Amino acid sequence: MAATDFLSPGTGSLRNGKARRRKPDDLSAAALNYDWKHIAHLLHLSRAIDEIEETRLVPEKKVLYQFSARGHDLAQIILASRITGKRDAVAGYYRSRPTMLTLGVDLVEAVRAPLGRAEGYSNGRDIGVVFNFPNLDGPCALPMCGGVGAQYTPVAGWAQAIEYYRNVLNDPSYEGSIGVVLGGDASVATNGFWSALTIATTLKLPMLFYIEDNGYGISVTGDKQTPGGNIAINLRSFRNLMIRDGDGTEPGEAATLVDEVMAHVRGGHGPALLRLSVPRLSGHSFQDTQAYKTQEEIAAEWARDPLPKLERFLVPGVMSADEWRDIAASARREAEQAIEAALALPAPDPSDVLTHVFAEGDNALQRQGGLRPLGHVFPKATETPEPEASRINMVTAIRRTLDHELATNPRVVVFGEDVGAKGGVHAATMGLQAKYGADRVFDTSLSEEGIIGRAVGMALAGLMPVPEIQFRKYADPAEEQLNDCGTMRWRTNNRFAAPMVVRIPGGFFKCGDPWHSQTGEVKWAHAIGWQLAMPSNAEDAVGLLRWALRSNNPTIFFEHRAMLDDPWARRPYPGDHYVVPFGKARHVRRGDDITVVSWGAMVPRCDAAAEKTGLSVDLIDLRTLMPWDKDAIIESVKRTNRCLIVHEDNITAGFGAEIAATLMTEAFFSLDAPVERLAMPDIPSPHSPILLDAVVPSVERITARMDALVKF
Ligand SMILES: Cc1ncc(C[n+]2csc(CCOP(=O)(O)OP(=O)(O)O)c2C)c(N)n1
């Protein structure tokens, strides 16, 4: 297959799309610089592991999920043998074990995860074929995901962090570093691919897209993923992107192309995309019989097997036939020994399965990601407010807190749609770009997947990202990255974590609508691994946001639009050191007749209702929903014997249901009335203020419910 060589117009030298032919066995100067004996060894090793899994371990049900890298292996090894920089990162996918072997992961580590043994990549938690490799002092492998395309935007974030370390933190060790992402031909149709491509090319980031094109996504052919089936051809007019396209089964060609793209990206010329065509010599996974391929097609794929091609390439020029055989035999022995050693390891301990959902203190730090493993020390903090004389509104409180943390922590970066020059559509970041520069406070492309995925990569690189999702509903396109970020610590068995603070304004503001005005906060209480804060006032917003910005866990910080400038929410600024630890509710009122639990914009309504009823109301503002202050509620209900929960989120499976269920178990014998919920019915937020008032809990309806419950 011919190697083609495209430079996009953005780089100034389009060659009219003409293919420049390379002889497949051309041992160019670049190719000569590779350690071919080591490459041969790794290829044999990878083959031996795949083969032992396919012929023995899967049939014996010792490996439950198997994705063979056969056919993809040689090109991956060539690529990964150039990922050697101290600050390089690579993210692969389920077919990327050859990359891991080349990075130098311990061989037993590489086989124990598919065998579901204890410890290793995930301690038996994640599907055995997705790997991770924390490495603070050498190339690392970012945690892989099961979702195709999810690997792209975190690498864009890593690449942006490289620039940040170089340009803002003046760290020379990031010079010439690179983020590399591996993906199959079907992955080029995903949101993640396009989002990362936009980020990398608009910002000219040091990022390499490596597409290993086997022509299939399970059974779907490449022409369904990109017209004509070749993404490299289709991207030819993309600005700021070097493109190379060739045959991943030809050692010399692959090696030369890898060196070309590496030189370009490491040289600071912006991103590159390298597409190498490879055969998939097995089914998509072991279970896949490939019935959708003809025998001729399968035979044609085997005719392109890179293993014999490498042999022809190296023997006798680089090594003798005996040496080749010896390498194959010793690799086989090593693979057998590693598998035997892994089989002898214990199975994961079920008593351990609940650990590492959240950080578990400084004695059990993740190995990579966030500020803690880097030994970052924060300024002092206090839970005692030092209030200023005048009151400020909640949006000013948020801005001042961001300002102080930006000033005292050079690793904080604030970004999102319109957060830069405009200062955010809610004005929360107004003036911050002018003060801290566009490297630290910046606008992003309109891709929420990109905003959150980029934040994940930055967090893994040791920054504290503070992405803004412009309105609650627009977090939906970021769903995959949010989910994968939350589960990261658990599924990597505390090897990786990506602490960040995602600021999300939402809820009604004067009127409602299905797009900007949902709260839907229960989603993140239900999601794994996310802390969730929802302040009702300026003082709490300061303390909770500062706590989040110094936390070792990812946080959703929900900013209710109605409260940003609400007079009730205005409070004195509680000082630059003020924090509110998560999981501590606030008593807005103390009373004995009834417990009312609420959060966000419903708190002032409950406060007004309590005033109106004249009852002695114990009003609890939960402030954080994950973790949530069970003790405060249970203690209160044991005194009042009644509980009303008021929230703006839809009623069915809203967070009120969780509180009610907990009270059933923990305070059943204290209850003199059923636990009641008052919430939005199961409809989106309506636009008309008249309709909105009819469905969001109002002071009148809350008052009536309180009265009824006390009289029950
Ligand atoms: C987001 C998502 N959708 C669907 C799947 C199921 N799935 C797993 S692999 C795959 C095909 C991917 O093909 P490609 O990216 O070309 O990589 P290859 O397996 O060919 O190496 C699909 C559809 C998934 N894992 N993730």
Ligand 1 contact, 572 CB (< 6 A): no
pTM of the model: 0.95
Q: Which atom of ligand 1 is nearest to the CA of 147?
A: 26
Ligand 1 contact, 148 CB (< 6 A): yes
Looking at residue 314, its pLDDT comes to: 96
Q: Tokens for 702?
A: 């809350």
Ligand 1 contact, 216 CB (< 6 A): yes
Q: Distance between CA atoms of 662 and 37, rounded to whole angstroms?
A: 62
SS3 content of the chain, % helix, strand, coil (to 5): 40, 15, 45
Question: Is 516 in the active site?
Answer: yes
In the set 44, 426, 516, 560, the catalytic residue is 516
Evaluate whether 7 touches 273 at the Cβ level (below 8 Å): no
Looking at residue 128, its pLDDT comes to: 85
How remote is the CA of residue 217 from the centroid of ligand 1, in Å?
6
Chain centroid to CA 521: 19
Going by the DSSP 8-state scheme, the letter that residue 576 receives in this structure is T
Nearest CA to ligand 1 atom 14: 184
Q: Which atom of ligand 1 is nearest to the CA of 222?
A: 16
Ligand 1 contact, 684 CB (< 6 A): no
Q: 148, 182, 226, 288: which to mutate for ligand 1, most atoms within 8 A of CB?
A: 148
End-to-end CA distance of the chain: 81
Which 3-state string (H, E, C) describes 429-481? Answer: CCCHHHHHCCCCEEECCCCHHHHHHHHHHHHHCCCEEEEECCCHHHHHHHHHH
Nearest CA to ligand 1 atom 12: 217
Ligand 1 contact, 71 CB (< 6 A): no
Is the bond preceding residue 387 a cis peptide, omega within 30 degrees?
A: no
Nearest CA to ligand 1 atom 7: 148
Q: Which atom of ligand 1 is nearest to the CA of 214?
A: 20
Nearest CA to ligand 1 atom 11: 217
Looking at residue 29, its pLDDT comes to: 60
Q: At which residue do the structure tokens 């802390």 appear? A: 531
Q: Distance between CA atoms of 675 and 690, rounded to whole angstroms?
A: 29
Q: Distance between CA atoms of 433 and 423, rounded to whole angstroms?
A: 8
Q: Which residues pair with 502 in a beta bridge?
A: 556
Count CB atoms within 10 A of the CB of residue 207: 31
Nearest CA to ligand 1 atom 20: 217
Q: Which atom of ligand 1 is nearest to the CA of 148?
A: 26
Ligand 1 contact, 339 CB (< 6 A): no
Q: Distance between CA atoms of 420 and 437, rounded to whole angstroms?
A: 9
Ligand 1 contact, 214 CB (< 6 A): yes
DSSP string, 475-500: GGGGHHHHHHHHHHHHHTTTSB----
Ligand 1 contact, 164 CB (< 6 A): no
- Mean pLDDT by 10-residue block, N- to C-terminus, for the chain (712 residues)? 40 33 51 90 98 95 93 98 97 96 94 91 92 94 97 98 98 97 98 98 98 97 97 97 98 96 97 98 92 96 98 95 98 97 95 97 94 94 97 98 98 98 95 98 98 98 98 96 98 98 96 94 96 98 98 98 98 98 98 98 98 97 98 98 98 98 97 98 96 97 98 94
